[in-house]
Chain A
Amino acid sequence: MATATVRTASTSALSELERRMLRQMLLIRRFEEKAAEAYALGKIGGFCHLYIGQEAVAVGSLAALRDDDYVISSYREHGQALARGIAPNAVMAELFGKATGCSKGKGGSMHLFDAAKRFLGGHGIVGGHIPLAAGIGFAIRYKGGDQVCICYFGEAAVNIGAFHEALNMASVYKLPVIFCCENNRYGMGTAFERVAAVTDVVEHACSYDMAAELVNGMDVLAVYEATRRAADRARKGGHPTLLEVRTYRYMGHSMSDPLHGVYRTKEEVEEQRKRDPISQLALKLREGGVLDQAGLDALDAEVREEAEQAVRFADQSPDPDPAELLTHVLAD
């Protein structure tokens, strides 16, 4: 009986975690759909890289971390910002360039920040932020803390020198960093295998004597568990980990790029959509009796409203004051 009770408790905790992760993934999906609409209407400018298809990576990994851990990402970071708990209003307002945005309208889609939540960007140069993650790990170790820093980047960043320099130093100095490579198979319109001599990103960990794991990025629980293992390694011994999370983006590289065409087929995208991380988890929860269709519909309605509210908030928010042009160039 005792065993059965324990199992029920942990099963229910797991269900709760999965339900929470499902909600976050759905929120990101609906948020990004709204961002695409707003982009088409000219309300969002510049580059806008959507996260649709990759939701399980941000959600699963950040669910495994603590609030005092650090997060740093590339320019495809709307999903991580939302999963970290930055309000959808503040993220959407930033995409709109408004004063109420999480970077006060000065960063935009590629430069989302929330220092209080230890969400340290949003970086626009491919691979340029990977050494920054090692530096954050260095600061953690310097101060004797047990936090970790998770760093997200695409597979295309693996070809740039910054990736290798950062992994080497993270391993030499034993820095508590999780290098989370989101392998969505294409650097803009170039398939990874066309430009990478080694196509299994995890193999690069051997060069730096680093722990590594290959993860199914369409399975949010698998991402969660792999990140937990990596975080344990980092907290206990300060050991970095390279995670290669295989995922897929359904949209074009940015809003100005085609979904498919010269570099991938429509059929390929359709085929990948069958592994959709949200549908898979929803099915699992339905089959497990955790969430019925009505419950799922209600959840979806809730996050749709949140995304729509974010658009209304962003729309109604003011532009930054012209005087903001000259602020924040230098600190006092």
Chain B
Amino acid sequence: MATLTYRDALNQALREEMQRDPNVFLMGEEVGVYQGAYKVSRGLLEEFGPMRVVDTPIAELGFAGVGVGAAMAGLRPVIEFMTWNFAVLALDQIVNSAAKLLYESGGQVPIPIVFRGPNGAALQLAAQHSQAWDAWLSHIPGLKVVAPATPADAKGLLKAAIRDNNPVLVLEGEMLYNVKGEVPDGEHVVPIGQADLKRPGRDVTLVCHSKTVAVALKAAEQLAGREGVSAEVLDLRSLRPLDEAAIVASVAHTNRAVVVEEGWPHAGIGAQVVDVIQREAFDHLDAPVLRVTQADVPMPYNKQLERLAKPSPDRVVAAVRRVLYLD
């Protein structure tokens, strides 16, 4: 096992898959000469050349569409968005082209493409650069959506995404790129659609993904120390398909759940998870399921306000106390 940053784990996945399959190429703003806005593509231009590491104009709709077209003609593009905030300009290509061409062609035109980039809030970037698109993007049939929280999952899920014959959206965490972790050596592919138990527990399930995994783990530690509460942390990893069996199994075991996500509360990922729990684990529940989300406001610039807007370990602890009827 090597210890890598999340950034280098993604870089390794890209390099290995490009070495493995000559049809895989990377395209996006600043991915080549500049080595990536977040340095995920460092060294790839030198190794693979400008036909396979392609710098684009700032034209998200255009280069997303170029990627889909290339996939229609047999390539396996990896399209990098500098951030998912800018990908909103490309939604027509993601939703109307990538997600639908297989279906509306009666199965004739598969679109093996990866769209990836950082998602969610970083630090004091204000409203237009700080938003989590998880729920929007997970709404669309024809797409798969993954959101890795650790370097190992980042590498394994990106490799799985590149090998998948469908459009896969990889939501990376802008605040996670420097996080270090152990990454298995050799062939390491994480199957899409499998959640991962990041910490076992008895009293409550914390359902989370991407950046909120760290939030949930911190909350679990606080709960274990101060309150003597044993919290189980379930990392969804894939948002579509959702690992419903893992959610149900955990709640059947703990009888309580809190869902933590970076997105807004209305029609969020947590709402979907709560639907699964009430439908499939209703009789196991000892308390209503609660959610911890970003505040239902555009992200403020001010540091203190921003901190208040984001999910925090303290807010998770407070929610856990309520589902355990400790308050």
Contact = CB atoms under 8 A, between A and B. Distances in A.
Contacts of B186: none
Contact of A121 (B77, B105, B110): B105
Interface string A144-155: 000000000000
Contacts of B70: 135-136, 138-139, 142
Contacts of A70: 73
B57 interface: yes
A169 B62 contact: yes
* Best-buried of B56, B70, B71, B102 by chain A (most CB within 10 Å): B70
Contacts of A113: 104-106, 108-109
Residues of A in contact with B, size category: 35 or more
A166 interface: yes
Interface stretch (A23-31, A124-132, A190-198): A124-132
B166 interface: yes
Contacts of A329: 102-103, 141-142
A300 to B, nearest CB: 32
Interface in A72-89: 72
Contacts of A317: none
A130 B65 contact: yes
A130 to B, nearest CB: 7
Contacts of B25: 142
A76 to B, nearest CB: 16
A168 B62 contact: yes
A161 B61 contact: yes
Contacts of A120: 72, 109
B93 A115 contact: no
Contacts of B56: 169
Given A131-B64, A135-B66, A140 B73 contact: yes
B104 A111 contact: yes
Contacts of B141: 329
Nearest to B69: A135
A207 interface: no
Contacts of A139: 69-70, 72-75
B239 to A, nearest CB: 15
A111 B59 CA distance: 26
B225 interface: no
A35 to B, nearest CB: 19
A142 B108 CA distance: 22
A142 B61 contact: no
Contact of A115 (B57, B77, B97, B109): B109
B151 to A, nearest CB: 28
A71 to B, nearest CB: 12
A7 to B, nearest CB: 41
B102 A134 contact: no
Given A114-B108, A128-B92, A169 B63 contact: yes
Contacts of A331: 102, 107, 110, 112, 165-166
B105 A107 contact: yes
B62 A328 contact: no
A166 B108 contact: no
A277 interface: no
A332 interface: yes
B67 interface: yes
A160 B72 CA distance: 22
Contacts of A40: none
Interface in B34-86: 51, 54, 56-57, 59, 61-75, 77
Given A128-B65, A134-B65, A165-B59, A327 B107 contact: yes
A115 B105 contact: yes
Contacts of A133: 69
B126 interface: no
A60 interface: no
B57 A172 contact: yes
Interface string A165-184: 11011001100000000000
Nearest to B142: A329
A130 B93 CA distance: 11
Contacts of B101: 121
Contacts of A72: 69
Contacts of A101: 106
Contacts of B272: none
Given A165-B57, A330-B142, A134 B69 contact: yes
A106 B72 contact: no
Interface string B159-176: 000000110000000000
A101 B68 CA distance: 24
Contact of B104 (A106, A128, A132, A168): A106
Contacts of A129: 65, 97
Nearest to B57: A168
Nearest to B25: A142
A285 interface: no
A120 B69 CA distance: 9
Given A136-B70, A138-B70, A121 B109 contact: yes
Contact of A106 (B54, B61, B93, B106): B106
B19 interface: no
Nearest to B59: A165
Contacts of A124: 96
Contacts of B71: 135
A104 B69 contact: no
Nearest to B72: A120
User: Which 10 residue pairs spanning A and B have beta carbons closest together?
Assistant: A135-B69, A131-B65, A165-B62, A104-B106, A139-B73, A132-B69, A113-B105, A331-B110, A135-B66, A115-B108
Given A130-B65, A138-B66, 20 more contacts: A70-B73, A101-B106, A103-B108, A107-B104, A107-B105, A113-B106, A115-B109, A129-B65, A131-B68, A132-B69, A135-B70, A138-B75, A139-B74, A142-B70, A161-B62, A166-B62, A168-B59, A169-B56, A173-B54, A332-B165
11 contacts: A72-B69, A104-B107, A121-B104, A121-B109, A131-B93, A133-B69, A135-B77, A162-B62, A328-B106, A330-B166, A331-B112
